[in-house]
Amino acid sequence: MPRVRLTVAYEGTDFHGWQAQEPPDAEPLRTVQGVLSECVTRVLRQPVVVTGASRTDAGVHALGQVAAFDAEFSMPIERLPLALTSRLPDDVQVRHAAIAADDFDPIADAVSKCYRYRLASAEPPQRWPPLLERRLEAWTRASLDLERMNAAAARLVGEHDFAGFAQIDHGRKTTVRTIHSCEVREPRPGTFEIDVAGSGFLYNMVRIIAGTLHEIGRGRCEPDRVDEILLGGDRRKAGPTMPAHGLCLLWIRYPCDPPREGSA
C-alpha cells in the first residue's frame, strides 16, 4: 500500500490545534488532523488517518506542515493536492503530495524544523496595532531594539539544555535540543520576525524564546540573560509565553530533502 507525503498549510485561528481530539460525551473538536483525515477519506473513498509531523497548538499556523497516510488509489499523485484542497475548508490547503518510502515516518524521520514568530511593535496613535494581520502576528506596545534581540538570539545556537525555555509539564524525557539558527529581522518598520530552526522543540519553547527576546529587546534584561537561563534551567528567568497566533511552522526537513537556508 503506497505511503503518501503531504505538505499542508493552514491558518490556525479556528482550530483546536493539529491533533485530533474527541472529548468523552462531546462532539469532536475541530482540528487540522481531523478535518484533513475526513477529507482524504471522502476523496479516496476509504478510511484514512493522516499523521502529522508537528502537533501545533490551538491558534498556531503552518505553511510547511508535513503529514503522511497509507492508501490505495488510482488518481495521479500530482492531482491529489487540488482534489483535496477543493474539498477542504478555506483555512486549510494541501500544497504538495508525493509518494514516500514505505517506512517514511513524518515524526521520527524529521531532522530539522523552522518556526517563525511575528511580532508588531506599535504604540497608538503613532502606529496602530495589526488590523489585517491581527490573526497572524502578536502585538506589543514596547519599542524593540533589533540589535539587542539578535545578540541574545545568537546565544541560543548550538546544543543546550532548554529546560528554562519550556513549560514545566513539557512531558519529554530530555530537554536537550540543538538550535541550528536563530535570527530576528525587521522586514518593515515595527514588524519583527523571529526565525528559529532546530532539531526539535519542547512544548511552547519557541513562544518562550520569543517572549525572552521581547523582554531583552525592550531593555528589561541584557542579552546574557539567555546564558543564565540555559545554565540554570530556571523557567522563571525567561520571558512570558507569547500568544499562539504569532507563531507559524515554516518548514520541516528530512534526510532525503535538499539542504535549505537555516538548517544544518
Task: Please check whether residues 62 and 163 belong to one and the same domain.
Answer: no
Report the C-alpha gap between 46 and 91 in whole angstroms: 24
Task: Please check whether residues 125 and 243 belong to one and the same domain.
Answer: yes
What is residue 262's predicted lDDT score, i.e. its pLDDT? 44
- Which among 78, 100, 122 is the end of a domain? 100
For the beta carbon of residue 253, count every other beta carbon within 10 angstroms.
22
What is residue 264's predicted lDDT score, i.e. its pLDDT? 40
Inside any domain, residue 258: no
- Which among 73, 100, 127 is the end of a domain? 100
Inside any domain, residue 81: yes
Q: Residue length, the chain?
A: 264
Report the C-alpha gap between 50 and 44 in whole angstroms: 13
What is residue 261's predicted lDDT score, i.e. its pLDDT? 54
Q: Tell me the three cell numbers of residue 195.
A: 526565525
Report the C-alpha gap between 259 and 26 in whole angstroms: 44
Q: How many domains does the chain have?
A: 2
CA-wise closest residue to 50 among 13, 111, 116, 97: 97
What is residue 32's predicted lDDT score, i.e. its pLDDT? 98
- Residue whose entry in the numeric block shows the C-alpha cell 487540522: 32
DSSP collapsed to 3 states, 175-229? CEEEEEEEEEEEEECCEEEEEEEECCCCCCHHHHHHHHHHHHHCCCCCCCHHHHH
Report the C-alpha gap between 18 and 91 in whole angstroms: 13
Q: Which of 57, 70, 105, 161 is catalytic?
A: 57
Rounded average pLDDT per 10-residue block, the chain, 264 residues: 96 97 90 98 96 96 98 95 98 98 96 97 89 96 97 98 88 90 97 97 96 98 98 96 98 85 45
Task: Please check whether residues 84 and 125 belong to one and the same domain.
Answer: no
- DSSP code of 29? P
What is residue 170's predicted lDDT score, i.e. its pLDDT? 66
What is residue 127's predicted lDDT score, i.e. its pLDDT? 87
90 catalytic per annotation = no
For 39-83, how does the pLDDT look when each residue is reduced to its tens digit (9 = 90+)?
999 999 999 999 999 999 999 999 999 999 999 999 999 999 999
Report the C-alpha gap between 161 and 82 in whole angstroms: 42
- Residue whose entry in the numeric block shows the C-alpha cell 500530482: 78
CA-wise closest residue to 94 among 36, 14, 20: 36
- Which among 72, 100, 128 is the end of a domain? 100
Cis peptide before 125 (omega within 30 of 0): yes
The secondary structure element, H or E, covering residue 149 is: helix 146-154
Burial 25-52 (b: 16+ CB within 10 A, else e): eeeeeebbbbbbbbbbbebbeeebebeb
Inside any domain, residue 261: no
The CATH number of the domain holding residue 171 is 3.30.70.660
pTM of the shown model: 0.94
CA-wise closest residue to 239 among 219, 262, 261, 255: 219
Q: In which domain, by residue range, is 212 found?
A: 112-253
- Residue whose entry in the numeric block shows the C-alpha cell 535538499: 258
Q: Tell me the three cell numbers of residue 92.
A: 486549510
What is residue 147's predicted lDDT score, i.e. its pLDDT? 98
